[in-house]
A and B are shown apart, each in its own frame.
Chain A
Amino acid sequence: MVADHDHDHDHGYMVPDQQRFAEWVRDHGKAVRGFLLALVRRGDVADDLCQEVFCRAWQARDRYTDQGKARAYLLQIANRLACDRSRRNEPRTNLDDQTWKFHEQSSLVPEPAQAAMLSEQVGLLHAALDKLAPMQQRVLLLRYYGQMDFQEIAETLQTPLNTALSHCRRGLETLRRLLVETTP
């Protein structure tokens, strides 16, 4: 089955599981992908992991009980996969963005001027995230993409609530130094 978030929303022919799956991809696909991209910093890897997240969600659809927190559920899977990947790939070295683009020329690049501006934004985001500790990154990204409350974030990251709150505050303070105080 192929679920495309750009398709029309007429899923009357689908069985409930398929319909829910298509809605998940449509409503949360971008958030999951953005979350993964912010963590792994590579578009191809983020796409692969995003695919894996939805596959896992589909395979576990019988165990899922709908409580209106589908995005949080998907982000939990995404976080677990990103953790697994970073644990597996620890000895490897990722190419920096320019080297990667030199070797892997994508055909889906935007216009040069726009690309320059956007890549500047991406570079700034990555630089900001690099200043954060991994747990701070995760807390802030789960809060941003998943709109999860801090208790859920703490449970997802398997840390005490106070620790999650501390990570959030310190992360915000670090970002403030980088994004607000240095901005002219």
Chain B
Amino acid sequence: MNDSTNQDNQRLRQMLEEVTAADASTAAHAKPEEGGVEIASLRETWLAFGQLIRAADASLPAMPKIAASIVPQKSRRSRWSHSRWVGLTAATAAALLVAVTFACWIRRDSDRGAGCQPAGNMASADWQLTPRASSAALVRQEQSKTAEAEKAANQQPKAGTIATSNTNTATSTWDDPLETQIASVSQQISNVEQNWQHRVDDVDLVQYRIDAVTDSLQNDKL
């Protein structure tokens, strides 16, 4: 059963290949006893069909140019990598800009935090100019030292809770060395004040004795 089916299919295939062959010589081999009339008829149909197709193709306008992208994958990849490089460069530039801005901001705030320092420098510059200017600078220096001492004295008890500066708390949290410096200076100033007080007391005692001696002399007690 299968063999006969296969034979039929094989025969049909052979016949159709002859009928639809491109060259006429193949079809001419068909034998009359193998259904030559049928084959000839189908062959004629096939040739008419081919003629119709050729005529239809001839009526077409000229074939447009075929344009294929010659750089399909590589160029896409390179275009992608190019845009990626552009993106990376832009991101790096933006990061640099942000870093520089941040650094400037920190520097400006640290300058502001050490606000007395330029005044001190200016004072030392003034010191070299004239005696009047130097005395004024000395007064300013003393005033600033006193102000610092007072500020430190006020802030010392609150050091655990409030950092330092009354203008910018965020800056003082950043400037820990500055705060330590201020605290040590204020400590030194308070020590100096205490010593000075002791000395004043000593001077007062001496003065008191001098006054007593003077009174004794005046009263001829000696």
Could you tell me which A residues sit within 8 Å of B by CB distance?
1-6, 18, 21, 25, 29-30, 33-34, 37-38, 43, 47, 50-51, 54-55, 58-59, 106, 108-110, 115, 118-119, 121-122, 124-125, 128, 140, 143-144, 147, 149-150, 161-162, 165, 168-169, 172-173, 175-176, 179-180, 183
Contacts and interface: CB of A to CB of B under 8 A. Distances in A.
Nearest to A110: B59
B74 to A, nearest CB: 11
A63 to B, nearest CB: 12
Contacts of A54: 66, 68
Contacts, number: 127
Given A2-B65, A125-B53, A165-B12, 6 more contacts: A5-B66, A34-B60, A37-B56, A118-B55, A172-B20, A175-B45
A25 B67 CA distance: 10
Contacts of A58: 68-70, 72
B53 to A, nearest CB: 6
Nearest to B19: A172
Interface residues of B, number: 36
A37 B60 contact: yes
Given A106-B61, A168-B16, A55 B42 contact: no
B50 interface: yes
B201 interface: no
Interface of B: 9, 12-13, 16-17, 19-20, 22, 41-42, 44-46, 48-50, 52-53, 55-70, 72-73
Contacts of B16: 150, 165, 168-169, 172
Given A34-B57, A54-B68, A165 B9 contact: yes
A147 B24 CA distance: 14
Please classify the interface of chain B as helix (H, G, I), strand (E, B), loop, or mixed, using the class held by over half of its residues. Answer: helix
Contacts of B46: 172, 175
Leading 10 A-B pairs by shortest Cβ distance: A118-B59, A108-B61, A121-B55, A1-B70, A176-B45, A58-B68, A179-B48, A122-B56, A125-B56, A125-B52
Nearest to A62: B73
B13 A161 contact: yes
B168 to A, nearest CB: 63
Contacts of B72: 58-59
B13 A175 contact: no
